[in-house]
Structure 1
Amino acid sequence: MENLCPNLKSRNSQVIEMISTTFLLLGLALCLHVAECTPKTTPLDNIVFSALNCRKHSAVLTDFGGVGDGKTSNTKAFASAINKLSGLASDGGAMLIVPPGKWLTGSFNLTSHFTLYIHKDAVLLGSQDESEWPEVAILPSYGRGRDAPGRLSSLIFGTNLTDIVVTGGNGTIDGQGAPWWKKFRNGELNVTRPYLIQILFSNQVQISNLTLVNSPSWNVHTIYCSDVVIQWMTVLAPIDSPNTDGINPDSCTNTRIEDCYIVSGDDCIAVKSGWDQYGNKVGMPTQQLVIRRLTCISPDSATIALGSEMSGGIQDVRIEDITAINTQSGVRIKTAVGRGAFVRDIYVRRMFMKTMKYVFWMTGSYGEHPDNGFDPKALPEIKRINYRDIVAENVTYSARLDGITNDPFTGICISNVTITLTEKPKKLQWNCTNVEGVTSNVTPPACDLLPEKKPMECPFPEDRLPIEDVKLKSCSIASTVA
């Protein structure tokens, strides 16, 4: 099925059209040692959705003892279902349907050649019982948990997988994060809070058509993955909630993020690749990344952040058709002495911003470190950063661009930018240190370190990344009777 590019404002109506009829509960009696499953007598209206791959087999969570009353734990039901469905990976794969209801659960693990489908009237609720969140190994490119020495498993977790789809009819995953935020603020945790979805060391990954709310911490984290499609996601968190990043591609290659709406207490999208010496050692960059048609609201953070954990490198990132409203900054670079690696070949075009603190912000002193083992001589290389075709309204500062002494950020190009200021703007609109580059047709005029060049356009690649040509298939479950 062609991956269409509709306007974000029509998202909800198009999702409703995609889910053509009301979903009624279906059970499929699953037989692990036969070629096919025998359907129960409960009829099922058609479900139609887009996926990297369709599945031959399907089952419903209630077939494994699931109870959707919002009170009964379904952690064991998810584990049992996915364990049994994993046996069908070599026979066309399997899909687990989460039907209408409220499904309380702790962390559970996915399997390969598998689809988790969350119905539009289903809500997954993150358990408040901490025993249902097992501690897992630290990430090798971080050396410790992001909040604290250890880390807890995510609500939906997967590692070393191939061909995994987490999707739905815009069903909801509610992390019920408020108790976690309180404990974090009070310094009561010695482990990193859970994320909602985390996929590690995997390829052919799709996360789409879901609403994520109230995550304990980051919402979507793909790390050490390749060939990733993340689209049609709605991510909502209180704007004062700590570290509720929307989508974090981390040491991933060939990723497409598109048509998402994010309200966050932190960066709407944070591109990462490991932390200081640990990221240097693993050395896996985030590269071949396209981000487009994103709408972001985040008063205290960035629309898209590159870093600050970027010690495996970030390169070949293409960002276009972005809307930021009441957000602290646009596409921001965050790095520091001790990070090493690079952020290079970044291309941004067609951004609209309204009510911003900064339009352009680069920081060379974002110096939080995992421990004292980082190399103070590890200087990051920031170069070939390109912005063009940007309109911003009600802006306090046009730019704050702070490179590193004896390690300037170079090759900055900014063209065709119109910024209108708030009623009480800062007097110094372009605050620049340790940066080099050019500007063209920029209002207000840039700093002396970014001189005006004859009319020109900053580059944006004309070729296509491999992930842009990945087309989703139209998948369905036909109504059947025994």
Structure 2
Amino acid sequence: VEARCSALRPFANMRRPFLVVALQALAAAKQCDIRSYGADKSADDNSKAISAAIKDCLTDGEVVVPEGVFKSKPLTVASGQDFILTLSEGSSVQGVPRDSWPTSNGEYVTFLQLNDCKRCTIRGSGMFDGQGTPWYIDFDNGKISDHRPTWLVVSGGSDLKLLDFTLLNAPMFNMKLSGVAGAEVSGINITSQWYDGDTKEPHNTDGIDPGDNSHDIWIHDVYIHNGDDFVAIKPGSEDGGCTSNILVENSHFERGHGLSIGSVGKGCVKDVVFRNIKLSGQGTQNGCRIKSYSDQPGFVKNITWQNIELTDTKTCITVNAEYKPTPKGATNFIQVSDINLINVTSKTCEHDAEFLCPSEAPCRGIWLDDVKVSGGDGMICQYAYGSAKNSMNSCLKSDGSPTPAPASPTPAPASPTPAPPSPTSAPAPPTSCDVDGCLARCVDEYGGSVTGGDAYFCA
């Protein structure tokens, strides 16, 4: 029993760097307004001015983007320490058109690259505007390959904070955390809009992807509407210690592909908790999701979804360890084990639940507690072992070992901010928009109004 319960407490001994950072005053010794370095709202490209401000405030400094729209080519923050980028209310950093976007080795360059930063923060009520719709259309029409630019990539570093801004219509992936040791992502709005009369989803527009041995990551109180994985935990190498200790909670996601692990073809992911989350919206493909395949050694272990409410989701629960066909003669398999689903509910699934694992590497230690998803074709099992309590009709097989009811995951580290709202309440409306009508949700669903200037905002 103790071994089972301990496995569900990945945060019990978690290093909590963001608590230390959160209690520090986010006040920089030096402030760099990008206008002081030549940034101009009428300019076609402000990357030189913004880069100069970044260089001048790279250590214990704050770069300030004031109200207005500032177009820019890609930017890099390298080896910053106690660096802050503030997007002021009414500000928008807008990507340049595709024909002006730089490439490297045949691929479009990431818009904002943070390398080996310590205690760096991006914050504010302004937004990044990727101008992604033309990219989505050209990709669908075969005019460009699947090497569109990622918007924000954090490589290495520690004690990162991403707070309160909006990321609108990134050309491809929104946010990647690669090899990051400690991060808090809170209060942000990631929206990648469907197009062609709201009938076509953007492709490969993942919301937040922690991976490559990232650990101690806290994602909370975020809103994502994106047409692909909301959060996808990517593997790390076993030698590097896995991607691990990830907590995603108190959030609302719409019209995407799920709370995902993977895909994992090698390496490992462990100790992940998704909890207190609402998924909704026509076009939401998956709810609780693991996608792995046999290729090289690795494992997925100790993954928990708790208090998850699903509405209009195509496949509510999917653990698919055959995400790609097993190669003939394969000798290496991803081992999937200790999977916990607790209080997961839906009445509108198209496919209720599936646990699909290869005979060479069965999935073991699956635990269902108060899992009641319905509306579709029931549960499908293939080489899947575990047990269920107070749940839907289960096809999981017992492997002969007792499976006690697990303890609830250890509560998240205490937040220095007030307690978040209920995850089932309406999400915060989009805070900013372009002139093409994307504030319809703000006006129709939230009673907001459009205010203008160079950018349009929800008042």
Tell me the TM-score normalised to structure 2 length. Answer: 0.77
Query: Is residue 162 from structure 1 mapped to residue 155 from structure 2 by the alignment?
Result: no
- Aligned residue for 2:455? none
Inter-CA distance 456–325: structure 2 relative to 1 (3 Å threshold): farther
Contact conserved, 1:52 with 1:165, CA < 8 A, in 2? no
Structure 1 distance, partners of 2:202, 2:134, is: 11
* Counterpart amino acid of residue 61 in structure 2: A
Inter-CA distance 175–154: structure 2 relative to 1 (3 Å threshold): same
SS in 1 for 2:408: coil
Deviation at residue 436 of structure 1 after TM alignment: 0.6
1:95 maps to 2:62: yes
Select which of 122, 135, 154 maps to 2:104.
135
Q: Name the structure 2 match of 1:121.
A: 90
- Aligned pairs (5 A) from 1:148-297: 151-169=107-125, 171-189=126-144, 192-239=147-194, 240-251=201-212, 252-273=214-235, 283-297=240-254
Alpha-carbon spacing, 1:102–1:469, altered in 2? closer, same or farther (3 Å):
same
Quote the offset at 1:457 in angstroms. 3.7
Instruction: Say which of 331, 336, 347 aligns to 1:393.
Output: 347
Structure 1 position 328, deviation (Å): 1.9
Paired with 2:355 and 2:26, the residues of 1 have a C-alpha distance of 44
Query: Hey, what's the Cα distance between the residues in 2 that align with 1:100 and 1:437?
Result: 55
Residue 96 of structure 1 contacts residue 115 of structure 1 at CA under 8 Å; is this kept in 2? yes
1:188 Cα deviation after fit: 4.1
Q: 1:78 aligns with which of 50, 59, 64?
A: 50
Structure 1 residues 50, 121: CA separation in 2 closer, same or farther (over 3 Å shift)? farther
SS in 1 for 2:44: strand
Percent identical among aligned pairs is 21
How many angstroms apart in 2 are the aligned matches of 1:200 and 1:352?
33
User: What amino acid is the match of 1:105?
Assistant: S
Distance (Å, rounded) in 1 between the aligned partners of 2:170 and 2:53: 24
Gaps of 5+ in 1: 1-48, 137-149, 473-482
Q: Which has the larger radius of gyration?
A: 1
1:277-356 counterparts in 2 under 5 A?
283-299=240-256, 301-302=257-258, 304-309=259-264, 311-326=266-281, 327-356=284-313
Are residues 50 and 179 of structure 1, via their aligned partners in 2, closer, same or farther at CA, if it must alter by over 3 Å? Answer: farther
Q: Secondary structure at the match of 2:53?
A: helix
Contact 1:198 1:221 in 2 (8 A): yes
CA distance in 1, matches of 2:193, 2:306: 28
Give, in angstroms, the shift of residue 296 of structure 1: 1.0
**Offset, 1:336:** 0.5
**CA RMSD, Structure 1 to Structure 2 (Å):** 2.9
Conserved 8 A contact 1:388-1:457? no
Q: Distance in 2 between matches of 1:51 and 1:356?
A: 41
Instruction: Report how far residue 365 of structure 1 moved.
Output: 2.2
User: Hey, what's the Cα distance between the residues in 2 that align with 1:359 and 1:157?
Assistant: 34
- Aligned counterparts of 1:457 and 1:77: Cα–Cα separation in 2: 58
TM-score (norm 1): 0.74
Q: Does 1:68 align with 2:36?
A: no
Secondary structure of 2:97's counterpart equals coil
- The superposition leaves residues 261-281 of structure 1 with CA deviations (integer Å, 9 ceiling, x where unpaired) of 11111011111025xxxx56x
Richer in strand (by share): 1
Judge conservation of contact 2:386–2:396 (CA < 8 Å) in 1: no
Give the structure 2 partner of residue 57 of structure 1. Answer: 30
Q: Per-residue deviation at 1:469? A: 5.0
Give the partner amino acid of 1:392.
S
What SS is found at the alignment partner of 2:333? coil
Equivalences, count: 386
Distance 2:411 2:314 in 1: 33
Distance 1:366 1:164, change over 3 A: same
Q: Relative to structure 1, is the Cα distance of residues 471 and 376 closer, same or farther in structure 2, using a 3 angstrom cutoff?
A: farther
Shift of 1:455: 11
- Secondary structure of 1:163's counterpart equals coil
